[in-house]
């Protein structure tokens, strides 16, 4: 990790004047324009700022709403670190790369006032240390081979079985679930299926212990009764995949335009 002086952060003498994109993927664009850091999430732009002597990150939406993340980051310093291939570390000791930082900002936006340790609960302790071996490989492989389109299976299996790629694999699936799921296995879909009597009846009739996958550290790799897993999925701010013996429930990530939800069955 490259070390950069904090003098390269906020303050009239220390601001980095570079303009352009620092990080970009299918959902996020992080950069700086006209001396102002910004993050675009699914087409929605947020301006990022701070005060020279106050350890707070300010997130301003296009509508003008302001979120303050206390004890957080100086966005100018953050962008300079990412430009140089480095990472940043929060006051809690958690290490961030560019994508992690984007996810933190997305989660915090609209929260009003939030402390950095509160915002970090959405991720858990996802530091850059080597991840443990995946002990639930067989369950995850069965999910892929049972419910994912044949032409997309091998890549997803490879990602789920590689500890360094597992998080990105789960996250990518959740963003592209509609394109990856085998349509012949869908028995129910829609933003409100969890409110339908048919879905509630299915949960009551199949309330077995299920395996849960999610980009959310506090939800991922848990074994829960189906009804408890569904409740966790409903309130989660991230995507959740629930794997039963012959079925699966997928709740996509809450996004502008809705949240995809699917009930899948091997016995269609």
pLDDT at position 127 is 40
Report the alpha-carbon distance of residue 68 to residue 153 in Å, rounded. 41
Query: How big is the CA angle at 173 (ends 166 and 108), to the nearest 5 degrees?
Result: 85
Beta carbons within 10 angstroms of residue 228's beta carbon:
15
Which DSSP symbol is given to 20? E
| Model pLDDT for residues 199-233, shown as the tens digit of each residue | 999 999 998 999 998 877 778 888 999 999 999 88
pLDDT at position 264 is 95
Residue % of the chain over a pLDDT of 70: 82
Helix H or strand E encompassing 231: helix 226-235
Tell me the mean pLDDT in the region 73-87: 91
pTM value surpassing 0.85: no
Q: How many CA atoms lie within 13 A of 98 on its CB side?
A: 22
Report the alpha-carbon distance of residue 176 to residue 88 in Å, rounded. 29
């Amino acid at each position: 990790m490259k070390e950069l002086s904090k003098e390269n952060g906020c303050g009239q003498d220390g601001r980095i004047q570079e303009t352009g994109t620092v990080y970009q993927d299918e959902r996020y664009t992080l950069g700086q324009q006209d001396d102002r850091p910004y993050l675009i999430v699914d087409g929605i732009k947020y301006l990022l700022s701070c005060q020279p002597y106050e350890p707070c990150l300010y997130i301003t939406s296009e509508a003008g709403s302001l979120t303050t993340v206390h004890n957080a980051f100086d966005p100018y310093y953050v962008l300079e670190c990412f430009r140089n291939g480095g990472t940043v570390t929060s006051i809690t000791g958690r290490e961030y790369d560019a994508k992690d930082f984007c996810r933190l900002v997305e989660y915090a936006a609209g929260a009003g006032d939030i402390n950095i340790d509160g915002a970090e609960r959405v991720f858990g302790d996802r530091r850059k240390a080597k991840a443990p071996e995946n002990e639930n490989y067989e369950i995850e492989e069965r999910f892929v081979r049972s419910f994912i389109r044949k032409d997309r299976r091998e890549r997803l299996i490879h990602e789920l079985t590689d500890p360094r790629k597992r998080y990105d694999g789960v996250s990518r699936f959740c963003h592209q679930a509609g394109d990856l799921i085998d349509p012949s296995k869908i028995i129910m879909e829609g933003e409100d299926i969890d409110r339908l009597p048919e879905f509630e009846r299915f949960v009551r009739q199949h309330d077995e212990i299920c395996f849960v996958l999610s980009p959310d550290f506090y939800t991922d790799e848990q074994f829960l009764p189906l009804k408890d897993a569904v409740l966790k999925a409903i309130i989660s701010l991230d995507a959740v995949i629930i794997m039963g013996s012959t079925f699966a429930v997928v709740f996509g990530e809450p996004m502008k335009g809705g949240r995809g939800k699917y009930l899948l069955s091997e016995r269609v």
